[in-house]
Amino acid sequence: MSKPKHPRVLAETEAQAVLSNVRISPRKLNLVAGLIRNRSAADAVATLTFSKRRIALDVKKVLQSAIANAENNHQLDVDRLVVTRAEVGKSIVMRRFHARGRGRSAQIEKWFSHLKIVVAERAQVTAPETSAQEAA
CATH of the domain at 98: 3.90.470.10
Residue 3 resides in a domain: no
pLDDT value of residue 8: 85
1 — pLDDT class (breaks 50, 70, 90): confident
pTM beyond 0.75: yes
- Does the structure show a pLDDT above 70 at 125? no
For the chain, the average pLDDT equals: 93
Rounded Cα distance between 83 and 76, Å, is 13
Total count of domains within the chain? 1
Rounded Cα distance between 93 and 70, Å, is 32
For residue 100, the enclosing domain spans 14-122
Instruction: Give me the amino acid identity at 42.
Output: A
Per residue in 46-86, pLDDT (tens digit) is 999 999 999 999 999 999 999 999 999 999 999 999 999 99
Residue 127 resides in a domain: no
**Within a 10 A sphere around the Cβ of 21, how many other Cβ atoms?**
10
3 state DSSP class of 70 = helix
Residue 54 resides in a domain: yes
Buried-state track 23-42, b at ≥16 Cβ within 10 A, e below 16: ebbbeebbebbebbeeebbe
Residue 81 resides in a domain: yes
pLDDT value of residue 104: 97
pLDDT value of residue 133: 59
